[in-house]
Amino acid sequence: MINSKLPNIETSIFAKMSKMAADHNALNLSQGFPNFPSDPALNALVDQAMSDGYNQYAPMPGDFGLRMEISKKIETLHDRFYNPETEITITAGATQAIFTIIAATISKGDEVIIFTPAYDCYAPTVELFGGKIVPIQLKPPFYSVDWQQVADMISSKTKMIIINSPHNPSGMLFSKEDMLELQDLAEKNDLLVLSDEVYEHIIFDGNVHQSASKFEALAERSFVTASFGKTFHNTGWKMGYCAAPENLMKEFQKVHQFVVFCVNHPIQKALATYLKDENHYLKLSNFYQQKRDFFLHLMEGSNFKIVPSKGTYFQMLDFSEISTENDIAFAERLTKKHKIATIPTSVFNEGRKDFKQIRVCFAKTDETLAEAAKILREL
């Protein structure tokens, strides 16, 4: 018989809530994905790449044209050069990049610091490779990091810190000062950093994305991951990438070649062309800020307590003035009775601590957001 390697892991909350939404015919603002289409011009480029015959394996690290465009983009935005030959790999979404980074670097007994609420794939992947998670719980409403606390949690076994800014689910951002504190700790303690930057292009109110690649000493020890699905409205394509200095990327690729070898070739060809126009990603913050503001405007006068999200396409809603239920029961009731699905955020917290916050995804048409706000305002 099989001994479970992950005895305490349940089906992901995203699978659960999307299924519950479908089963109960509820509006689905739970799992993070847009309900509007991927750009027809990008879809046409994929069709074209298929017609042009790019239907066999891509090069193991990815299409070179796409790696060049990614390299240019990072250099323009963050002033850091990643060699497209040796320092960038195209992955099946950020999830595969994160899995591969952890598989390539974490061994039995290594400690990995994560900030909770944390995206759900980090901890199980670390555990799968024998690592130990050291969680640092961030607190609402601002979910900011106390770097002295982080320093206190570092031990001789600490191997890696995983960060995620803009942060899912809270919408918090790391400032330049946060990144400098992180850089200092990582250097002093010889740590690796996994910087999950899937929401890099969704940042509001004039804030600037503080990529790990912007900071020289940090970039030297960081794996940076990104997701095209988030940026180009096609999460189902599962395309992303990892950028890291050559010595780290070499280890990454040793694992990558045996996890997938390479990823979807025609989509890589299409993305290589599409990325040439920077408007395709530089306009995204504005697009989503309008969605956030539209939704928050509609929610004025509701009984939820709301701190506006600073980035990502998620908004936290505090329901403590509406119900004393735990967030899982509350989210279930909302789905089944009120026909709106959201994410209970305790599942991302240390010890499933319940701060009475649900997460909604506002990557939705204005019509869906209006319908959602109408239901939520009546609670």
Smaller CB separation from ligand GLN, 28 or 302? 28
Of the residues 105, 116, 168, 345, which one makes contact with ligand PMP according to CB under 6 A:
168
Q: Residue type for 198, please?
A: V
Return the structure tokens found at 226: 């990104």
> Distance between CA 226 and CA 231 in Å, rounded?
9
Pick from 308, 376, 378: nearest CA to 342:
376
Binding-site partner at residue 117 among ligand GLN, ligand PMP, none, CB < 5 to 8 Å by type? none
Residue 227 interacting partner from ligand GLN, ligand PMP, none (CB closer than 5 to 8 Å by kind): ligand PMP
CA distances from 155 to 94, 110, 116, 126, 179 (A): 28, 10, 19, 17, 20
Q: Report in angstroms how near the CB of residue 314 gets to ligand PMP at its nearest.
A: 8
Which two tokens mark 109? Answer: 């007994």
**Within positions 25 to 54, which residues make up the interface with ligand GLN, using CB under 6 A?**
31-32
355: contact with ligand GLN by CB under 6 A: no
**CB 369, CB 294: distance < 8 Å:** yes
Choose, by CB under 6 A, the member of 89, 100, 164, 168 that binds ligand GLN.
Answer: 168
d(CA 323, CA 332): 13
Does 166 contact ligand GLN by CB under 6 A? no
Helical (H) or strand (E) element with 330: helix 327-336
Among 84, 117, 135, 229, binds ligand PMP (CB under 6 A): 229
Spell out, one character per residue from 128 to 147, where the chain touches ligand PMP: x when CB under 6 A holds, - when not.
--------------------
Shortest spacing between CB 164 and ligand PMP, in angstroms = 5
Is-contact 163 196, C-beta < 8 A? Answer: yes
Nearest residue to the partner ligand GLN, using Cβ: 32
Under a CB-based contact definition with an 8 Å cutoff, are residues 290 and 204 in contact?
no
- Please tell me the distance from the alpha carbon of residue 185 to that of residue 213, in angstroms, as a whole number: 16
Q: Considering only residues 101-130, where is the footprint of ligand PMP by CB under 6 A?
A: 119
Residue 95 or 302: the one with the smaller Cβ distance to ligand PMP is 95
Q: For residue 272, which of 92, 83, 90 has the smallest C-alpha distance?
A: 90
Backbone angles phi, psi at 90, to 5 degrees: -90, 135
Q: Does 124 bind ligand GLN (CB under 6 A)?
A: no
Stretch that binds ligand PMP, among 20-28, 91-99, 108-116, 302-310 (CB under 6 A): 91-99
Of 28, 30, 95, 125, the one binding ligand PMP by CB under 6 A: 95
With CB under 5 to 8 Å by kind, the binding choice for 360 among ligand PMP, ligand GLN, none is: none
Cβ atoms of residues 335 and 24 within 8 Å: yes
Please state the separation of Cα 18 from the chain's center in Å: 18
Assess 215 for contact with ligand PMP (CB under 6 A).
no
The site for ligand GLN (CB under 6 A) is made up of 12, 14, 31-32, 168
The site for ligand PMP (CB under 6 A) is made up of 32, 93-95, 119, 164, 168, 196, 198, 227, 229-230, 235, 238, 240
